[in-house]
């Protein structure tokens, strides 16, 4: 969101909301759940949730909720249902001390950080195709990611052909394995395993103490992560407003 804000040079286009056990981000101009979401990490009153939902409604944004274990009780569930929200899926979260990880080698592919304009162009192509993003403006936003010191962008290559991409975010001794994707035409060649190995290795070299990531339950990505000793720590419930 900050990359989008900086690219647009619009300081007020994104809003961050903070309450006890509640964090939210709101960017009404981009109708995407990742840009308009509320995270509940512990018990939160229905009054607080209602207040924040009203802020989204007033801005014309549709908020999605991610709810961690211990944050949902019967009262809140009934409140959300009354607001036409329902749980639509859940997402496993992986948290593990880096010292307990052993990055297994992947010899079939080469992985390198994005360092040239040509690399960035390949990264943009793979990212947009892999995530099936059709909004051309997102390509411009991606270009700004490499300017952030906490972000590392990666390409996995089969010979001279880039086939997958991913991001490592490092801050406060925590490494977040983010946004890995492989276009369908390149899947099954080991790109995601190679990208996991490279990012875990780099996180270790940067003295990260904790590794964090998430993916869809039962997916190939989950299998790849578990091969690298990552295990489910907990799951977040996703609540979405029904049409």
pLDDT averages per 10-residue partition of the chain, 243 residues:
60 84 89 85 96 94 94 96 94 90 73 96 96 82 86 95 96 94 94 92 93 89 88 93 87
143 contact partners, CB below 8 Å, separation of at least 6: 120, 124
Alpha-helix runs per DSSP H in the chain = 2-8, 46-59, 74-82, 117-130, 137-143, 191-205, 220-227
Domain boundaries of the chain, sorted by first residue: 2-83, 97-233
> The domain 97-233: what is its CATH number?
3.40.630.30
In this predicted structure, what is the pLDDT of residue 228?
86
**Residue 220 pLDDT:** 87
* Helices (runs of H) and strands (runs of E) counted in the chain: 7, 11
- pLDDT for 30 equals 74
pLDDT at 219 (0 to 100):
87
pLDDT at 77: 97
Answering whether pTM is above 0.85, one says no
Cβ neighbourhood burial of 147 (10 Å; 0-12, 13-18, 19+): exposed
In degrees to the nearest 10, what's the CA dihedral of 183, 186, 190, 192? Answer: -10
pLDDT of residue 64: 95
């Amino acid at each position: 969101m900050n990359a989008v804000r900086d690219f647009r040079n619009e300081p007020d286009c994104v809003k961050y909301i903070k309450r006890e056990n509640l964090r939210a981000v709101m960017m009404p101009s981009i109708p995407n759940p990742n840009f308009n979401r509320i995270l509940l990490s512990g018990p939160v009153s229905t009054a607080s949730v209602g207040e924040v939902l009203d802020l989204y409604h007033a801005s014309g944004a549709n908020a999605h909720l991610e709810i961690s274990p211990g944050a949902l009780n019967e009262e809140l569930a009934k409140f959300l249902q009354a607001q036409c929200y329902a749980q639509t899926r859940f997402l496993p979260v992986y948290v593990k001390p880096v010292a307990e990880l052993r990055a297994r080698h992947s010899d079939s592919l080469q992985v390198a950080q994005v360092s040239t304009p040509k690399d960035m162009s390949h990264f943009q192509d793979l990212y947009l195709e892999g995530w099936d993003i059709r909004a051309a403006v997102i390509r411009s936003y991606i270009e700004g990611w490499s300017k952030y010191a906490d972000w590392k962008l990666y390409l996995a290559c089969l010979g001279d052909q880039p086939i997958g991409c991913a991001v490592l975010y490092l801050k406060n001794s925590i490494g977040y394995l983010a946004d890995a994707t492989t276009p369908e035409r390149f899947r099954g060649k080991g790109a995601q395993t190679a990208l996991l190995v490279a990012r875990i290795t780099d996180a270790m070299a940067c003295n990260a103490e904790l590794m964090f990531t998430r993916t869809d339950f039962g997916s190939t990505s989950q299998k790849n992560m578990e091969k690298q000793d990552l295990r489910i720590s907990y799951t977040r419930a996703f609540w979405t407003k029904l049409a």
